[in-house]
Amino acid sequence: MKYNTELSKLIIPEYGRHIHQIIENLSTIKDKKKRNEQTEIVIQIMGNLNPHLRDVNDFKHKLWDHLFIMSDHKLEVDSPYPIPAKKEKQYRPQIINNTQGTVKHRHYGKFVISMLNKVPEIKDEEKRNKLIVSIANQMKRSYVNWNQSSVLDDVIFNEIMEISNGTLKVPENTVLENIPVYHKQHSQYKSGARRKTNHRPKKYK
């Protein structure tokens, strides 16, 4: 299990670690066509997280800028806008505020919940199923890290059904990634606590 001090610093914290991880995974897709398709889905998700700002000038342009900045300019995809220069990374980009409410399943994070709620809007069935499986794997990682115990895939599948109010179903025969469990090691003695001893004081004659 990784702790906050061990995790890499988020480039744009307002998007959350899950979005950063998804963008990082985009770079691992070797097929450029598939990489472009998945990138379009991520842009759609980023936009769906902030529907109240869709009428803002250059809203989609800002999303693409943020995408490249969060990828540390390592993502190679076809963009409808000029790719921001890498030097712009040192400046804090204009943040798109998130107004999402509290999350019932907080160990998954509000961004994952929001993504699940927006998946039905994706018309392409193949893209939709791939995204559902990707989210399910991320949910399993979050569950294991939060509870420090393993979890059956069916539990995650049922959680997806519950969160989506029965509108989403994981594709049949899906097997999620095997997530190892790392237990935090506790010290035998509390810091600063005095150890007990069985030695009796010596008696002097």
Average pLDDT of the segment spanning 41-50: 78
Per 3-state DSSP, the chain is made up of helix, strand and coil in percentages (nearest 5) of 45, 0, 55
Rg of the chain taking only CA atoms, in angstroms: 22
What is the C-alpha to C-alpha distance for residues 72 and 86, in angstroms, rounded to an integer?
Answer: 8
Q: Give the pLDDT confidence score for residue 11 in this predicted structure.
A: 83
Query: Which amino acid, one-letter code, is at 76?
Result: E
Contact 62, 96 (CB under 8 A): yes
Q: What is the DSSP letter of 200?
A: P
pLDDT of 78 above 90: yes
Question: 167 Cβ partners below 8 Å, 6+ apart?
Answer: 120
Residue 53 makes CB contacts below 8 A (sequence gap 6+) with: 59, 96, 97
pTM over 0.85: no
If you write DSSP's letter for every residue of 148-192 in order, what string do you get?
SS---HHHHHHHHHHHTTT---PPTT-----PPP-PPPPPSS-TT
pLDDT surpasses 50 at 194:
no
Domain-wise residue ranges, the chain: 8-99, 100-177
Nearest to 139, CA basis, from 181, 176, 99: 176
Compute the distance between CA of residue 168 and CA of residue 171 in angstroms, rounded to an integer: 9
Q: What is the pLDDT of residue 163?
A: 84
Residue 4 has pLDDT above 50, yes or no: no
Measured CA to CA, the distance from residue 56 to residue 74 in angstroms comes to 27
Is the pLDDT at 188 greater than 50? The verdict is no
pLDDT at 105: 65
* DSSP tag of 57: T
Tens digits of residue pLDDT in 118-172: 888 888 888 889 889 988 888 888 888 877 788 888 988 988 888 888 888 899 8
More confident residue, 204 or 111: 111
Q: 102 Cβ partners below 8 Å, 6+ apart?
A: 110
Three-class DSSP category at 128: helix
132/164 Cα distance (integer angstroms): 11
Per the structure block, which two tokens stand in for 200?
């009796």
Give the mean pLDDT of 29-53. Answer: 82
C-beta of residue 61 within 8 angstroms of C-beta of residue 81: yes
